[in-house]
Chain A
């Protein structure tokens, strides 16, 4: 049995979070009524002309700088010609021979903690097409051009990934980079970040690439891994039984966890690319590049390292926190507001995340601000509330019932800490049970639990068991 090597390359489409479209002033807001966000330029009326959105150019440059790529200047927009009802001009404005970003590298981290460098071929700007609606029009199709002209950046990797796991790690890494840069909202359900994966198999040691299959439009980290895993096995099975791989485009169906061929085109595409004469070559001045390089935010990898160093977090917690810039920011703001780093990390990745995912409607951000959360966490660290009571407090804060302190007071959740009451209950418990004291001092350590129970009973459950046992232990030994 020969040994197979998997070769994977990804094309990732990121929707840039500009307010207006790539070549018109129409809004890019998601979810509007059909065609409410399509202006004359998006409709391709006679006589209209595209004007490039400088913000999209800046975003692409930021990305290029962040991955150590070359910024090509001037770069050129080209027309990709084909007819389709969702493509109003009859051509898509894209970049072909002279894309804005060339080369670059991203470092991915695998489950086992190992790292790999994946090289990028290029990243270019292009406009999205509209979409066809087939339901509810009595056998006819309708066209919604709200998406038409929305700016996309297509990031093309070299075929350097060797496993589905690497592919999903690469996708996650790029997702982290574009969201930390603030150039893409990263929303995969709305299609803001999706990928096409190319996969082929070859004998280990072979230099030539095998016949590749393209898996279209995958919008989840999990699916990209599963789809590639299925496809990997399918190709190996075919090759080992002597069947050739057909170069084709396939689609992954998460329901059946299989890929199936998409409709085969009857004739080869000829997009007749040529430079768009309506748009001049785009020059990005050195000074703009320098200014953008200066303003680049900290990227996930660097941030993770810093969180570990600066806040003494475990690698695992830090990894979870840098999965999105929002949570990394939330964590640091919570610490800034006075919470201890370890409690903040534990609570955010635990309780807060759980609540975020429990909500039936997707929340953009937690309803409890970092400042408010910090107040609660301080109460935990200083022993004002117990862990379990704090969960109740957070739940109330989540519902908007107020700040931590008030909720603790109103609900009487203040934990009885070191103070007259606790001293008194401890002393009472010791005085009332001289036999047990004798036995404990004689070496029967298990009896500590008995004393704790007595004190808790006396306090009506409000005492902090940890403090109680500490105090008991001290007193039982010293007397």
Chain B
């Protein structure tokens, strides 16, 4: 039963083959059996999940079930959930129980979906390996000695190990797409503004975007249709019509112009991953896509610009964690300054503190022009590069990560090496475009992936290309050996 996709589980529920309570219990059992080694969940909400499942079954008997009613999923622990703690992988929020639900949580719940629990993540979504969680690292289900990627490592590992049929996630510089690739699952980062950020704990507001990790592109399409849409509580959400993504999936690949930017296929890219990406590109070509070589000349500037902008925004976004109203407060503060300093020093991990310092510096008087303002100009250049590219092509194909999943601890001593892993995902966030990560041919038993980048609000086209490739391949259906 665990091999089914989310939509197949939904079908089984509709066919009465299984009840939501049974399905939910099935996944709870899998979490119980497997998560001790993976550490993909921070909180498992068993009793609440079963209660939601019962309600879903009742709704179904009453003929009030929607297409996703009763299907379980997990939420990244960055989405606020009323009554269930929301930690963001941080000691700072270890005791924080939100009094409200994030818009994403609210919408999926309104669709009848059942929350299994909250998944582990890099602290405040800062990291590319899920080693920055105060709850310990998440392990890659394909090789427990390796990282699952980050920051949505818990969501990716849980879906890969089929501890949940799908999970929500967020992506600021690659945090959905890179763990998707490392764990061999499908992940979509929608257009900035497509999914409400309300209730999603902020890391870098102008880059953060909620999305999902699932088994297939079709699963992602089904979830996106529920999650997307304007939210008056988020001024940056866009009032743009939400298409029927599942219907749009059937659009033919034939005649589509697929861009291959040479800057994405440089020497940083592991040759074995390149081969997997090229195999996927060839498949689309075989389905009638026309390949176009393109250039995004400012791409090499993306990573430094990203670390300035994201750090600057995070230094301000995380200022609210001051030990005054909620979250970690140091014991016996001597005075106000001691309360602020020690609460934050104790509450935040090393990487979060590092980015707060980088960001504070980049915004300081005398440095803002050289760092923050300049990075914003670079961002405009990158946006323009993409816009020009989309005059020539309908979608862009690229690798997701230049490297295979690495070993735990391998890069923790070198933050810059860790930052550079996100070089192929970061530009997409800077431009605010949608990006889809699809599993490709593994290398030495380790997953790889291919990335599709689309124009603004063109998620349907990406998902369509993804579904077309997944109809021909079964990389996305492979389950890691220990989790069969």
Contacts and interface: CB of A to CB of B under 8 A. Distances in A.
The judgment on whether A and B are partners is yes
Interface of A: 40, 43-52, 79, 81, 83, 85, 88-91, 143, 270, 272-274, 277-280
Nearest to B87: A46
A49 B234 contact: yes
Contacts of B199: 47-48
5 contacts: A88-B324, A272-B315, A272-B360, A274-B316, A278-B205
Contact of A270 (B201, B233, B365): B365
A51 B320 CA distance: 18
Nearest to A38: B325
B100 A40 contact: yes
Contact of B205 (A52, A85, A277): A277
Nearest to A270: B365
Contacts of B206: 277
B363 A274 contact: yes
B93 interface: yes
Contacts of A44: 320, 325
Contacts, number: 97
B364 interface: yes
Contact of B98 (A45, A51, A83, A90): A45
Contacts of B86: 46-47
B461 to A, nearest CB: 26
Contact of A46 (B93, B312, B319): B93
Contacts of B100: 40, 45
B368 interface: yes
Given A272-B363, A274-B312, A47 B320 contact: no
Given A46-B86, A47-B201, A277-B206, A272 B102 contact: no
B475 interface: no
B252 to A, nearest CB: 37
B26 interface: no
B322 A47 contact: no
Nearest to B198: A49
A88 to B, nearest CB: 6
Contacts of B202: 46-47, 278
A51 B232 contact: yes
Contact of A272 (B99, B205, B368): B368
A90 B315 CA distance: 10
Contacts of A270: 364-365
Contacts of B204: 277
A85 B368 contact: no
Interface in B353-392: 360, 363-365, 368, 372
Nearest to A90: B319
B80 A49 contact: no
A337 B414 CA distance: 83
Contacts of A51: 232-235
Given A46-B80, A46-B98, A51-B233, A274 B320 contact: no
B62 interface: no
B215 interface: no
Query: B-side binding surface: helix, strand, loop or mixed?
Result: loop
Given A46-B201, A277-B206, A81 B235 contact: no
A88 B320 contact: yes
Given A277-B205, A277-B313, A45 B368 contact: no
Contact of A89 (B80, B232, B319): B319
B204 to A, nearest CB: 8
Nearest to A40: B100
B341 to A, nearest CB: 9
A320 to B, nearest CB: 46
Contacts of A48: 198-199
A50 to B, nearest CB: 7
Nearest to B366: A270
B336 interface: yes
Contacts of A52: 235
A274 B198 contact: no
A274 B360 CA distance: 11
Q: Which 9 A-B pairs have the closest CB atoms?
A: A90-B319, A277-B206, A272-B363, A277-B205, A44-B320, A47-B199, A46-B201, A47-B80, A270-B365
B230 interface: no
In the complex, which of the residues B199, B324, B372 has the most CB atoms of chain A within 10 Å of its own CB atom?
Answer: B324
B320 A90 contact: yes
B316 A91 contact: yes
Nearest to A278: B205
Contacts of B79: 47
A79 B363 CA distance: 11
Given A46-B96, A277-B206, A90 B325 contact: no
Contacts of A143: 324-325
A272 B325 CA distance: 23
B233 A49 contact: yes
Nearest to A43: B325
B282 to A, nearest CB: 40
A51 B196 CA distance: 13
A276 to B, nearest CB: 8
A404 B82 CA distance: 62
Contacts of A47: 79-80, 86, 98, 102, 197-202
A85 B338 CA distance: 13
B340 interface: yes
Contacts of B360: 272
Contacts of B197: 47, 49
Contacts of A277: 204-206, 236, 313
Contacts of A46: 80, 86, 88, 93, 96, 98, 201-202, 320
Most-contacted residue by chain B among A43, A52, A83 (CB, 10 A):
A83
Given A44-B325, A272-B360, A89 B320 contact: yes
Nearest to A268: B365
B415 to A, nearest CB: 22
Contacts of A50: 235
Interface string B228-270: 0000111110000000000000000000000000000000000
A56 to B, nearest CB: 14
Contacts of B236: 49, 277-278, 280
Contacts of A83: 319, 322, 340
Contact of B316 (A45, A272, A279): A272
A280 B239 CA distance: 13
Nearest to B231: A49
Given A89-B320, A91-B316, A45 B99 contact: yes
A79 B135 CA distance: 32
A122 to B, nearest CB: 20
Contact of B322 (A49, A81, A85, A278): A85
A63 B319 CA distance: 33
Contacts of A45: 80, 98-100, 326
Nearest to B320: A44
A44 B96 CA distance: 13
A274 B364 contact: no
Nearest to B360: A272
Nearest to B313: A277
- Among B202, B235, B318, B368, which residue has the most Cβ atoms of chain A within 10 A? B235
A215 to B, nearest CB: 25
Interface in B58-97: 79-80, 86, 88, 93, 96
Contacts of A274: 312, 316, 363, 368, 372
Contacts of B315: 81, 272
A421 to B, nearest CB: 75
